[in-house]
Amino acid sequence: MSNDKRLKDRVAVITGGAQGIGFGVAERLAAEGAITILADVNTAVATEAAQRLAGQGYRAEALSVDIGDDSSVAELAKAVDRKHGRCEILINNAAIGADTHIATMKIEDYHRIIRINQDGAVRMAMAFVPLIRKAGEGRRIVNVASIQGLRGWPNQLAYATAKGAIVNFTRALACDLAPDNIMVNAIAPGFVDTPMSILPDGSHEYDSDWFRDIYVKYGRIPLRRFGNPADMAGPIFFLCSDDARYVTGQILSVDGGASATF
């Protein structure tokens, strides 16, 4: 890992930063010198995660947010503004998962996933763009989409719909913010080892026979393994770095090659 601290003193807000991809990203950005704000609905877990980063000598803090609630997002933006007066980097990562099939789905379940997974990123952007405009170099927004937002997927109607919206939200927002020299991009993860991959019975999705047969044995994922948060953090760091100063409106699949076999 670089010792140059390429994100030195840049304020980075990561939603869903307490665990999974969010924590992996927070750790990487902090190691690169960023002041990382782990924004999460689970304040206790976020606080413990921020303390772990601080124990490594990184600058990290935890703040509470429910990205599905307008007032909660507004309070988060005010808190960051009061303490830092700016925000260089916004990572829209927080999301929830749930199986939804058109034959059995309740409309309230659909709306809940859209409210958090889709509208949450819009709320965060609306609240934080003024803070990002106040920042200096390296102004970035990175959204976490999914390969489910690029392809059809059974039993994931609401989740896939929301992530598909994030894909085009990223492109449209990039066009809006290009005159301000704010880069907006997204990654589309494939299968990643996070708490969301734990099934209701407590087993791991990637330990199942169907996953190992189709995606590992027969190479539906060419790299023949699921990803981990660090695999996502590297590409996100690139998109936040000065090397990505001419990259905007792009969706980078980070899936071990899975989308190449569809």
Catalytic residues: 159
Three-class DSSP labels, the chain: CCCCCCCCCCEEEEECCCCHHHHHHHHHHHHCCCEEEEEECCHHHHHHHHHHHHHCCCCEEEEECCCCCHHHHHHHHHHHHHHHCCCCEEEECCCCCCCECCCCCCHHHHHHHHHHHHHHHHHHHHHHHHHHHCCCCCCEEEEECCHHHCCCCCCEHHHHHHHHHHHHHHHHHHHHHHHHCCEEEEEEECCECCHHHECCCCCEHHHCHHHHHHHHHCCCCCCCCCECHHHHHHHHHHHHCHHHCCCCCCEEEECCCHHHCC
Spatial separation of the C-alpha atoms in residues 239 and 242, rounded to whole Å: 8
Q: String of b and e for 187-210 (b: at least 16 CB within 10 Å)?
A: bbbbbbbbebbeeeeeeeebeeee
Task: Tell me the CB-side half-sphere exposure of residue 230, using CA atoms within 13 A.
Answer: 2
